[in-house]
Structures are given as C-alpha cells and as structure tokens.
Structure 1
C-alpha cells in the first residue's frame, strides 16, 4: 500500500540558509494493509519527519513515496485532497489540534464541509455517532463538549473517529500516546489494534520500545536520520544486530535495576556507509561505525 524508496529530507539552516541539515537519509520500506509498522528512535532521529512526508506536510528532497502505486510527492489540489481521503494523521499533543473557543466535534463539521457537503443533517449525525462509538466513546458524553472538558485520551480518539468518517486506508500515529497517562494509553493502543484488525495500515511513530513491541508487526529502528535495523518485531527485539538497537533495548528501565548497573552493549563496529544488508528473511541491518553509539556510563560491555 505504502512504499518509500530512498527518501531523504534536507533542511536549509543557518544565516540565509547557507547551511544544510540532513534529517532523513535514504529511507526505504513498505507498509501493507492490516499491518502496523513502528518507527522507533530517539528525538531527532527523523521519525516524525518521515511521518510528515508521508502525509505530504513536507516534501522529500530526494526519493519517492507511492501510495497504491501512485507517486504522492507531486500531488496538488484535487489530487492531494483525494489522497487525504485515504491517509490521515493523529499527532502528539491532542489539545493543540483543537481550537479552544469551538466545541471539539467541530472537527467532524470540517470533514463534512470538505468531503460530504451533500449529506443531509440526520444522516450525517448518524454517521458521526457511529464513528464515535467505533472508537469506544459514548457520544452523549463527548459530543457538544469543549476541548477543556475532555481528557487527552478522549480527544485523541475523537481525531481517530474523524479519520474513520473518510475512506481511510492509512493512519499515521505520531507519538499519539506520549502525553497520555498510563491508564489511558492502553485504551488508545487497543483501539489501534482494533483498527489493524479491520485492515487499516498504521505507521506508529514512537520513542518507546515497549509500545512498539506491544503493537507492531514490523519495526524500523532509526538513528541520525537513517534506518539502522528493520524487520519483524519479534526478530528485531529478540535478536538485535545493530549496536544502536542493543543500546536502546539495554536502556529500557527495569524494576530492581539501577541506571548505573545497566550493561553497555559492545559495538564491534567498522566504517561503512552501505545500504541495509539482509541477515535473515525479513531482517535487515545497516553498516555502522563507532560514532553511531554513545553511552555515558562507565561499565564493562556485555
């Protein structure tokens, strides 16, 4: 359904744009219907930039992004509007998406105005109620309320309900639970799992490895704008090959273990700037160098 082929993004920085910053470098992967792919990496790894390029909020500097076989990088006007009928995004801060002076369900009215202007009021009201119920919300408790009257989890699920009013095939979920409390996170995660069962493709962007492991079929590990490891989630988490992936897994907090006692993975690194190399059926690892992994602790490598 979705294919990225050697996608890169370079920003102009500094005075008068004289400098450059390469945020994403030669990223390639495919996402299939009914599949959840987690893009995992630290802040600044390029994962959100990839999500914004998929949603056409940014244009790639190099490479192509195709959706159902169509190159979306050059879409404009009606073609771009039609693409948004099938691809939608939900972002990190739910409160920033809503205008506090309007009721939260105004996001549904905007969809109606853009895509369904001919639908009658009664029919539209039924569609909205059905969509809200499909994300495990009670319409009587959330419709007609202002954003400050709802929780972050409710606002996020309303945005998913808004997307479901369209003929959506792809959902880009960019850190959508990082600002939610623990009791609410599981509800949103289970909602995404339910959408997966309906055949929706989900790009799940996160810095939390446990969340990626909980939800995804495929895992993409990003570091400094490039993919360092990619494959089935069980393989990437169960047998990490790249030292950066090992560092991430070793750094996950565990009960009964203090920070200074965590082991430092050895790199065994060498200079290389080649593309991903296949190590098993669907398990790919990038070449790396010693500068790829930095660790602040002084302890013996495992």
Structure 2
C-alpha cells in the first residue's frame, strides 16, 4: 500500500527521513497494508533523496533540528500522531551537542502534541560495564536522551539498532588485504564475541513499524533491531563464502587498534570512544532481547547482505 493523504490515517513525523534509519522507517510504512500519512524531515528538501520521498507521497519538510532553531523545531510536529526521532552523532562527534539536540527533538514532539514517540537510542556502556568504560560517548549521549524521553510524559519507546552491516564497508571495520591475498578484519575482541547485526537500510524500519502497529502503543518498552546474534567468526566465514575471498578475524591488542584509528585521522576522544565500545563488547557483551514476534517480514540475513553488496572496492 502506498502512503496516503487521507486525514483519517495516522500521521507519522519522521526525523532524518533521507538518512539510513529514518529512510528505513518511511519505506517500512510505505510497505504496510495499513494506511499512513508521513511527514518527512530533512535539511534539504531539494536533494534527490527528498524528491524521491515526495514521489512516495511523503510530505517533505525542510527543517534543521539544532538548538538555535528551536522555534521552527517546535512547529514541525504540529498535528502529528507519532514521531520517530533520531540524532546523528557522527556528523559532528560532539557529546554535548547530540544530548542537547536529542532533548530538543523530544521537547518539540511533545509540543506538537504527539501521542507516542519512537526514539532510536543505545544502551549505556558505562552502566553495562559497571563504570569501567565510561567514554563510549555516542552510546552515553543516546542513553541520556532515552532517560529524558521516559520522563517527558509522552508515551515513549526506545528502538535501538544493532551493528550496521554497512559498517564493514568502511574503516575501521573494513578488512585489509594481506600479502597472500587473504583479508583480515582486526579488532580488539575474541573471535567468539557475539554481536547483533542488522541491515539497517532495509530492516530498521520493520521494528519501528512493528511498534506502531501493536494493538497498544508499548509505552516504556525497549527493542533492539537486529537479525541475528552472530559471533565474529561466523560473520567472517559467511563473508568468505559469499564473496569467494578468504576473510578472517584477527584479535589485536587494544593499543594497536587505537593506533590504527589515530592513523585514520580520528580525534582522540573518538579513538577512546570506539576502543571502549569494543572492550565492552568483548568483556561484558551486549545482551539483547529476543527479536519480537509478528514482524511484517523476516529481516535480511548477513548472508543476504553479503550477496547483495558490491564488495569490489573493499576486497580489491
């Protein structure tokens, strides 16, 4: 069913509608048998991705959700029934900015009178590690926004996302070619470390749609969007099988991992952030709940992603 303009259908306001998660939400709603009106927010409504959304029937609205644009942000959600909210830490790598903008989104959605908020959060790795690893900034900022949202008085659901499978197309997740023609993915974790993986582009929106289509909006619930908990060994084996290349995981000391991040030009606080993420995964794990029953379809597998992805530049 296509997105409708019928005023009897619920209106879902989607932040980041031209991005990975917001775009996935829009597509998932467009695939539903239930009718939805969709208001999609983007900073540049003239860009190609925004024009494609408009062709789907999305009401594309140009707005920048920064603190200095509070008045426009507060107007953006007027009349919406539900809001999907997401921030992009990697655009600016600023903890304080992401926290402030996340709170702004919640305040703006509340001002617009929405009946429910779906937020893309992450767990606090500081809490998971008992305070041992407090510097995973892009997790901590989202976790604090989650706490703020739960105190907003608006029904609030956190739909976290597992590891993006697209991460493996880019440094520091992409493999490096060895002299013998094999490829090595070098992380400071044991090969048996388990991670929830997700084709976020195609499947994150499934989980948001699931929340919106439950008989009762599950206020206070937490979901993790993922296809499977995979060991890194299994991931490398399926990667090899799908590409015909010999791809292996190598466990390296964290200091060597940090040197690689520094060599890639990442700022010191991000080197520390990413290093602690891996250390938490390795020592404490990411204990995710079961995949919810009743998704509209099964998420794509890692093997699906490998098969459908062009690896020619990564595995050259």
TM-score (norm 2): 0.32
Answer with 1 or 2: which has the greater Rg.
Answer: 1
Which fold has the larger relative contact order, with Cα–Cα distance below 8 Å and residues 6 or more apart in sequence? 1
- The answer to which structure has the higher helix fraction is 2
Which has more strand, going by share of residues? 1
